[in-house]
Structure 1
Amino acid sequence: MAANTKAYLEINEQLQSQQVTLVAVSKTKPVSDILELYDLGQRDFGENYVQELAEKQLLLPNDIRWHFIGHLQSNKVKYIAPFVHLIHGVDSYKLLLEIDRQAKKFDRTIHCLLQVHVAQEETKFGFNEMELMAAMEDIHKYKLLNQLQNIQIAGLMGMASLTADTEQVTKEFAYLKMLFDHFTAQPGNDQFRILSMGMSSDYQLAIAEGSTLVRIGSLLFGSRQ
């Protein structure tokens, strides 16, 4: 199934007018589908699986900005460290340390988003509010000690509950925006600019609550098999 170029052009125009970044989620989709959107100007693509991302990166143009949006295991960071543009789902301090270690090997700074658990489902990953506050304090402390120099915390990411209750989804997005605003207001967080929330089913609600980046897959590429 080819990419839905008509939907892409409409969504992209809307998001550009609202200064929201579109990440086209291309997991499980063939290289030919990605190239369709690439040829229309899309450069940010998101993948969930390390092996699939590493394979596609070799086959596609070098100016693509690859976003890793899945649950990342520490032992797989090394496979995407040479090229990944942004890692969305950092949900533990252990993972952050490994990203920093691998980035150092390639003399890179890897930008990361801390994932916050805002949904009702226990199956979703992420820091709770207290863990997030502690992690940000630790990161600031270690950077002052010239450690963690190869990562940049660029913002927060979260996924709302999978529900038709728009009031619940809006509440969860608003909570994440409140946490985001808390950190952007603090000195030394000049690079803390990305609030990644919203997918195909709820991106309009996310934008209304202040999202700066949305991850859209099925509206652009159709449902996954």
Structure 2
Amino acid sequence: MSYIADNIKEVEAKIAAAAQRSGRKREDILLLAVSKTQTVETIQQAVACGLTSLGENKVQEIMDKYEPMGNGVHWHLIGHLQTNKVKYIIDKVDMIHSVESLKLAEEIEKRAASKGIVMDILVEVNMADEESKFGITPDNTLEFVKILAKMEHLRVRGLMTVAPFVENQEDNREYFRKMRQLQVDINAKKIDNIKMDVLSMGMTGDYEVAIEEGATIVRVGTGIFGARDYSNKEK
């Protein structure tokens, strides 16, 4: 357990320093522990250190871990979500970070309505225009948000992006800065039912720069748990 506790301490220090540099408080930023491929026992070590918000890329992993982890954690679905999987996690997650199509939004709306809940969502933006990444274009984000604003069982809390993998995190600063500006621009339109206060951006390799540019959620996996072991995962 010691290495996880040590890793968390290091990440926390970096988050606090980046928050200070950007004129914000540490509590303004949520550290989302990305627990994909990790065992329940390993995740519990992070939870014991105070990380109760967990991010998973795959619906199946949330399904496998939901009961064993119990009620003390908050799940976020951060990976690509297929419409036929929405029904499995609609009442299990606090937030869906990866809404990037009308079809998916309509399915979330339908499933949330059937459960009598309002689902917090983020719009995934492909800020770097990478072919390998999901997300809508920055130019289409405003019109997409306007459509989502009319759905009664969705609450658009903000934007999410997966920045390119880079050796030097400074290389992603421009994308994070543009994300923040996009959020500001959309909020300035004063769309009914839309007041976005969440920016989910920054991962293990670049979360410090993301925080400096306005991130309110950073998604850190290997920085907490170490290198992932995919050997026993066929999912």
TM-score of the superposed pair, with normalisation by structure 2? 0.87
Q: 1:190, 1:63 → 2: CA distance?
A: 29
Aligned to 1:117: 126
Of 154, 164, 169, which aligns to 2:167?
164
Q: Of 142, 145, 149, which residue of structure 2 is paired with 1:136? A: 145
Q: One-letter code of the match for 1:206?
A: A
1:103 partner amino acid? A
Q: How far 1:120 moved relative to its partner?
A: 4.7
- Cα displacement (A) at 1:192: 1.2
For residues 5-84 of structure 1, the aligned pairs below 5 Å read 5-12=5-12, 14-15=14-15, 17-18=25-26, 19-84=28-93
Instruction: Kindly state the Cα deviation for residue 56 of structure 1 after the two structures are TM-superposed.
Output: 0.4
The answer as to whether partners of 2:148 and 2:154 remain within 8 angstroms in 1 is no
User: Greater shift after overlay, 6-15 or 206-215?
Assistant: 6-15
Alignment counterpart, residue 179 of structure 2, candidates 176, 180, 201: 176
Residue 134 of structure 1 deviates from its aligned partner by 1.5
The C-alpha deviation readout for 1:98-140, integer Å capped at 9, x for no partner, is 0011111111111000000012531001111232121122223
* Matched residue type, 1:25: V
Contact 1:103 1:109 in 2 (8 A): yes
User: 1:167: how far off?
Assistant: 4.4
Instruction: Note if 1:152 corresponds to 2:164.
Output: no
Q: Distance in 2 between matches of 1:204 and 1:66?
A: 23
Off by >6 Å, runs of 4+ in structure 1: none
For residues 139-158 of structure 1, give each alpha carbon's deviation from its aligned partner in whole angstroms, at most 9, with x where no partner exists. 23xx2xxxx21110000000
1:59-110 per-position Cα deviation (integer Å, ceiling 9, x unaligned):
1121311000110000000000112101001110110010011111111111
Which residue identity does 2:112 align to in structure 1?
A: A
Deviations 1:182-201 (A, max 9, x none): 12333245641100000000
Kept in 1, the 8 Å contact 2:126–2:133? The answer is yes
* Equivalent position of 2:226 in the other structure: 222
SS at match of 2:133: coil
Number of positions where the alignment pairs a residue of Structure 1 with one of Structure 2:
219
In structure 1, C-alpha distance between the alignment counterparts of 2:132 and 2:47, rounded to whole Å: 33
3-state DSSP of counterpart to 2:46: helix
For structure 2, the 5+ residue unaligned runs are 17-24, 230-235
The one-letter amino acid of 1:104's match is A
Q: Percent of counterpart pairs with the same letter?
A: 36
